[in-house]
Structure 1
Amino acid sequence: MARRKPNLDDLLNKIGYCFENPALLDEALTHVSAPQASGQSYQRLEFLGDRVLGLAIAELLFRTFPGAPEGELSRRLAELVRRESCAEVAIAWDVGPYLKLGAGEAHSGERRNQTILADVCEAIIGAVFLDGGYEAARDLVWRAFQGLLEAPRRPLRDPKSALQEWAQGRGLPPPTYGVVEQTGPDHAPKFRVVVRVEGTGDEFGVGASKRIAEQAAARSLLLREGVWTEDEHGTA
């Protein structure tokens, strides 16, 4: 049974953009393995779209968080432009059925391949940039990534980094960590670690490795000082 050709208008509606030059969208959806690629796959558009995405997200963050320091903006930028975020946007657009793939790739489930989906997301952004200019591409990015901006999928900072920034912001020396106790067998050790910041009381953390225990200790100190909230950051 022949596969039903998807209606391209549905994809355009989800993207929220109508192309003056539809060939650009066609190129953005064409994998290098596709017979019709003829050397013209989405790879060049992906290269361009990656740069446009970074600029558009940077502008969005700059406007959305006017009081945020550079470090926080950089962390938010890295979270939004990561491959997993781009793939999530491509899934929301439901680009899978529209991809032009080689027979082998089509039969092996590459329409759901996270790497390909992320690449196509960036290629579509590049295509919109060429077709309608930066403002059109920026508006597309802002619409598509707004939900990820409002609800990041991962903590933006790990507790140790957050504690160090907190101490530095108060002109204090960096936090110090020390192993208080190690228990359990060699194949399943348990570490108890203390963290100290000048002018504050000690806090402790336990974990299956020194790193995990240090993160737990830093988190405890941040929670005690009211700097860290589990609702905002979850567990690291």
Structure 2
Amino acid sequence: MEALEEKLGYRFKDRALLENALTHSSYANENKSRGVQSNERLEFLGDSVLGMVVADYLFRTHPDLPEGDLTRTRAALVCEGSLVEVAQCLSLGSYLKLGKGEEAGGGRERPSIVADAVEAVLAAVYLDGGIGSARKIIQTFILDREEEKSASRDYKTALQELVQRESGQVLGYQLIGSEGPDHAKTFTVEVDLNGNPIGRGKGRSKKEAEQNAAKAAIEKLNG
């Protein structure tokens, strides 16, 4: 459990909440005589906590976005696929308590099970440390990562479209350095056009550095 807490960046005061969040109904059903409870109630609460935090974030950061777009964006951020990505980052499947049948059937990799467990863990953090603690985890594992992906898509796609106005143009991204401790590294990426450097960028991840390099390249080419 300590390894999972390390990945989450949160230390539980009541470890029983985390234990409950990782207990699938199949395990609870096999251990009814011991009074074991499944994570389904926590999943219910976590779904609401996640939806509220994401909705609040979108409302504050996109003041001009209409209700329909806000709803669609929130749905994409809280969908099963998004939660499965979070579970993979945390290796959450390896910590689950599953019944024998679910274990044999590959339950640790089942998308619906690990996605529900993410919601249950968020609820456990909320109950243990309040909405601020839950918000930090949602920001780190869902909102920040989505920002990186969107930014990377935008600038890299824009640069690709810009250089393709002429045929035979080849872009390349190279990691040229990194600095800082493991938990707070800064990466530097250089983008070249036909082997010639045209932009350089830094970021907290390689993807973020790539998008900053693409942005710098666009500014240079349009300069």
TM-score range, shorter chain: 0.5 to 0.7
1:151 is paired with a residue of what secondary structure?
helix
Is the CA contact 1:57–1:77 (under 8 Å) kept in the aligned structure 2?
Answer: yes
Among candidates 13, 32, 42, match of residue 45 of structure 1:
42
1:148 to 146, 149, 155: 146
Find the partner of 2:119 among 107, 117, 122. 122
The separation in 2 between residues aligned to 1:36 and 1:136, in whole angstroms, is 31
Structure 2 counterpart of 1:147, one-letter code: R
Inter-partner Cα distance in structure 2 for 1:13 and 1:149: 23
Question: Given the two structures, how large is their TM-score scaled by the length of structure 1?
Answer: 0.58
Paired amino acid for 1:118: A
Which residue pairs with 1:13 in the alignment?
6
State yes or no: 1:23 paired with 2:16. yes
Q: Distance in 1 between matches of 2:61 and 2:94?
A: 34
| C-alpha contact (below 8 Å) 1:53/1:125 kept by paired residues | yes
Q: How does 1:50-129 map to 2 (within 5 A)?
A: 50-129=47-126
Count of aligned pairs:
146
Q: 1:150 to 1:78 in 2, by over 3 A?
A: farther
Tell me the residue number matched to 1:186. Answer: none
Gaps of 5+ in 1: 1-7, 153-236
Between structure 1 and structure 2, the one with the greater Rg is: 1
Task: Provide the TM-score with structure 2 as the length reference.
Answer: 0.61
Q: Partners in 2 of 1:30 and 1:98 — Cα distance?
A: 9
- Residue pair 1:28, 1:120 contacting (<8 A) in 2 also: yes
CA distance in 1, matches of 2:138, 2:31: 28
Does the aligned pair in 2 maintain the 1:80–1:149 contact within 8 Å?
no
**1: CA distance, partners of 2:104 / 2:70:** 41
Which has more helix, going by share of residues?
A: 2
| C-alpha distance 149-40 of structure 1, shift in aligned 2 (>3 A) | farther
Which 4+ residue blocks in structure 1 deviate beyond 6 angstroms? none
Contact conserved, 1:95 with 1:117, CA < 8 A, in 2?
A: yes
Which residue number corresponds to residue 131 of structure 1?
128
Residues 92 and 36 (structure 1), Cα distance of their counterparts in 2 relative to 1, 3 Å cut = farther
Structure 2: runs of 5+ lacking an equivalent: 151-223
Q: CA deviation at 1:149?
A: 4.3
**1:85 touches 1:148 (CA, 8 Å); kept in 2?**
no
Tell me how far 1:116 sits from its aligned partner: 0.2
RMSD over equivalenced CA pairs, Å:
1.8
CA deviation after TM superposition for structure 1 residue 131, in Å: 0.5
1:32–1:39 Cα contact (<8 Å) kept: no
1:59-118: CA deviations, max 9, x gaps? 111232233222221111010011111111111111111100111211221100000011
